[in-house]
Homo-oligomer: A and B are copies of this chain.
């Protein structure tokens, strides 16, 4: 019985993976807005109604692709982060940033899916939040560790920003003062500005040696959140 169920589950997992692979191929060719269950089914030699046994709607397939993309990026960032000595906070930070960039360049269409324009008519459900948070949590961990030791510089905090900064710190990083908490969120957004600009062509005729440029921009972001070598 367990063999039969195991085989069944295995077959189901294989078909699910094949559907997502083909959907990713369409993502690259046509964009998320034109993702069509029928076209995926056709490419797989299936009939469109059969797909509904695996994904109840186009939106659920999209959601699965989004979560996969966030997880793939998150794993890449975590793997890069793991290779750095725990005490070297600046290098931990830049390792995460560079992993994000490398992953984005290797998976441009999946990057566009998660950090690019929203898909018209689609709203990501809350189930995407854990996967979407992984890179942010890594960066939070670096700054938190630096704050535990002596490795975090003092940052200014304008009075006008204090209420929001304190709310942020309480909600996102309870063991961090408000100053690095705001700086961290800003740097997190700015990181994806750098990556997106390179990926989406805004650096055309502006930045040539993009790897070097990015490496130092990431180091400057680390400096901006208070990390010191």
Chain B CB within 8 A of A207 CB: yes
Provide the bound-state CA to CA distance between A217 and B209, in Å.
Answer: 26
Residues of A within 8 A of B (CB): 28-34, 112-113, 115-120, 124, 129, 132, 136, 158, 160-161, 163-164, 167-168, 171-172, 182-183, 185-186, 189-194, 196-198, 200-203, 205-209, 212-213, 215-217, 219-221, 224
Provide the bound-state CA to CA distance between A182 and B33, in Å.
Answer: 36
Provide the residues of chain B in CB contact with A209, threshold 8 Å: 163-164
Provide the residues of chain B in CB contact with A136, threshold 8 Å: 206
Provide the residues of chain B in CB contact with A189, threshold 8 Å: 190, 193-194, 196-198, 202-203, 217
Provide the residues of chain B in CB contact with A113, threshold 8 Å: 117
Is A220 a contact partner of B186 (Cβ separation < 8 A)? yes
Which of B34, B191, B193 is the one whose CB lies under 8 Å from A191?
B193
- Tell me whether A118 and B112 are in contact in the complex, defined as CB-CB below 8 angstroms, given that A207-B168, A216-B160 are known contacts: yes
Provide the residues of chain B in CB contact with A120, threshold 8 Å: 28-31, 34
Is A172 a contact partner of B208 (Cβ separation < 8 A)? no
Which of B33, B183, B190, B201 is the one whose CB lies under 8 Å from A193?
B190
Provide the bound-state CA to CA distance between A171 and B205, in Å.
Answer: 9
Is B31 a contact partner of A212 (Cβ separation < 8 A)? no
